[in-house]
Homo-oligomer: A and B are copies of this chain.
Amino acid sequence: MSQATAFAPATVANVAVGFDCLGFAVEAPGDRVTVERVSGGGVEIASIEGVDADRLPLDPARNSASVGLVKMAADLGDGIGFRMRVRKGIPLSSGLGGSAASAVAAVVAANALLDPPLPRERLLDYALLGEQAASGSAHADNAAPCLYGGLVLVRAADPPEVVTLPVPASLRCVLVHPHARLDTRASRAALPPSVALADHVRQAARLAAFVAGCHRGDLALIARSLEDVLIEPHRAPLIHGFASVKRAALEAGALGCSISGSGPSVFALCDGDAAAERAHGAMLEAFARADERADGWISPIRSDGARIES
């Protein structure tokens, strides 16, 4: 194979209950990266197309899509180099894991050109280098579900250890993306450095109950658990219209609704397609009432992660 194209999906990190340790993959949107092997080592970004393409740097040392690949090429040695073309489907600074998706797609595509290929855990390490460059921290709650698919708990950060959780079959994710941008670093700067011990207990218990709910397929327990007392209160003011969008989702029957990753996108989890359609409509309408342009997606939790398309 002389070149390979990989698709990597958008991901919802934090998932209300699991700040920096929980995330899941969706069907769409996603990023595509085509990689071909070149000799002489190094990485070249030949082109970036698609959503927000003009805002992304072609310098491979500065683009989160290529940072991991640069290290991978260096580690491989033997003059192995890569030329990559990026097609962005995930908006920039949207809270949908776009930097993780590009980084994952790049290393997955490059890996398909290796014989033998590297194990997936190594690919996660490389993809996380891109996350580090993009957001200043290397939490695997986007990159891991993007690479592996499914709903993923990051049990330990360094080295990353992930636990894939079972997902109730009827679970649907509604994503609504306001066109405002919110820089990951700014969104992180809004958070307090510490939390009250009692609030830690409340939030940890909710995360634990959410995990139990997923294992039991208990959507009512999942709904009761999907509450963020730590992070959402600090980030909600950064997202114009958030309170009314959340209220609209819950009134439309969503199991829960919170900020996707560091925002400004908002996700809701719903029981079944009809409920998801209702929440989707209500959330878009609420953003419209707040004079905020937005678009959205409905998707099951995607069970597989990044994949080779050609």
Contact = CB atoms under 8 A, between A and B. Distances in A.
B165 A205 contact: no
A225 B157 CA distance: 13
A82 interface: no
A197 B193 contact: yes
Total copies of this chain within the assembly: 2
Interface string A162-200: 010100000000000000000000000001111111101
B20 A212 contact: no
Given A154-B205, A196-B194, A200-B204, A212 B163 contact: yes
Contacts of A200: 19, 195, 200, 203-204, 230
How big is the A interface, by class?
35 or more
A216 B156 CA distance: 18
Q: Which 8 A-B pairs have the closest CB atoms?
A: A215-B215, A21-B205, A155-B209, A204-B204, A194-B194, A20-B201, A211-B211, A200-B200
20 contacts: A19-B204, A21-B208, A153-B208, A155-B205, A155-B221, A155-B224, A156-B202, A163-B221, A192-B197, A193-B196, A193-B197, A194-B196, A195-B197, A200-B204, A204-B204, A207-B208, A208-B211, A211-B212, A211-B215, A215-B216
